[in-house]
Amino acid sequence: MSNPYAHEERVAIAAVRRACGLTSSVFETLIKNETLTKGDKSPVTVGDFAAQALISTILHNVLPEDPIVGEEDASDLRVESGKEMRDRIVGLANDALKAPLAAGDEAAWGVGPGKELTADGILDAIDRGNHPGGPTGRMWTIDPIDGTKGFLRGEQYAVCLSLIVDAKVQVGVIGCPNLLIDPSQPERGKGAIFSAVRGHGARQLTLEGTDPITLRIPPTAVENLKFLESVEAAHSSHSFNDRVTEVLGVKAAPVRMDSQAKYAALCRGEGGSYLRMPTGVGYREKIWDHAPGEVLVVEAGGVVTDSRGQALNFGLGRTLGENFGVIAAGKDIHPQVLAAVQAVQAEPKAKV
């Protein structure tokens, strides 16, 4: 069967690629007062807002009926105190919209020389990401910069976009400007895009859209895996992972990496398993933090569940609901990792 989402995938790759150009150039010039702290104390930069405006504008131009679940909203930018940041974001988003057409782009998508929006147009584009999510219909998720803390440290981050249809992720695209194209050939440089369509495989491309490689998670013995985990101890429990590592007899230390680059790394054979268990503060995982990664891993031959062994539910709204953690791994070892997680949970003093 031919790829039913070929058009959506092409648009998503073009939007993510353009947004990766924006975020890379923002990083070079980011200055201290260009970051806000949100209500949940997490950072958001001019890059996050501008990249969401850019991706949302392209989606709206190409697929105007599709709702968008975006991480950011423009309320802090609409007030007088937000003027300086607003002006900078409008400039950045318009520079990215106006940038020359790259391979795969079409002027009809509202990009290329001469394509600019007013400040209100940019703020409205950000706020089109206000869809509440839910169990039915089509919707896109945008995480314009996933791993904002990694972005600010100059480490890993990812531009993440997915199409969910009736609660199932059908298309996932993850752009990783700081990830090596090929870890075994560092001289090839950094910048990769990962893309998957349900039932139609997972691929890696360069940021320019060249050199496609099909992704397959290679089989690995459980004792040889290296868990992938967040850098930020507040985002998932490092001590829980340490206990799972002991229970499984895994020798290697975990690999810490920000953002959904972890899902991408897993797909090309790095690590073997991504474990994200809650820290116990009642945080609910957001759908945009997992939707593209889920379809990517499944299409690369892996399995993604929570700690009950159930599939993640993308139909509950903007979050995944009550937090039972996330376990992603190759098909062959997922059952063993899941069993070890459940064994650690059952220990009298589970270090969750």
Q: Which residues contact Mg ion (rule: CB under 5 A)?
A: 42, 71, 143, 145-146, 148, 289
Report the amino acid identity of residue 191. G
Min separation Cβ 258 and ligand A3P, Å: 4
Q: Residue 186 corresponds to which tokens in the numbers above?
A: 């560092």
For ligand A3P, the binding residue among 3, 35, 42, 220 (CB under 6 A) is: 42
For ligand A3P, the binding residue among 258, 270, 299, 306 (CB under 6 A) is: 258
Contact 164, 350 (CB under 8 A): no
For ligand A3P, the binding residue among 10, 17, 18, 235 (CB under 6 A) is: 235
Helix axes 46-62, 83-98, angle to 10 degrees: 50
For residue 43, give the DSSP letter: E
241 sits near ligand A3P (criterion: CB under 6 A): no
Comparing CB distances to ligand A3P, the nearer of 56 and 148 is 148
Min separation Cβ 150 and ligand A3P, Å: 6
Q: Judged by CB under 6 A, how many residues of this single chain contact ligand A3P?
A: 17
Report the amino acid identity of residue 25. S
- What SS3 class is residue 173? strand
Residue 315's nearest CA partner among 69, 60, 8, 9 is: 69
What distances in angstroms separate CA 140 from CA 47, 50, 244, 286, one per listed residue? 20, 17, 34, 13
Comparing CB distances to ligand A3P, the nearer of 268 and 286 is 286
Task: Name the segment binding ligand A3P (CB under 6 A); options: 76-84, 167-175, 281-289, 313-321.
Answer: 281-289
- What SS3 class is residue 166? coil
Binding site for ligand A3P (CB under 6 A): 42, 71, 143, 146-148, 150, 230, 232, 234-235, 258-259, 281, 283, 286, 289
Which residues are identified as catalytic? 48, 148
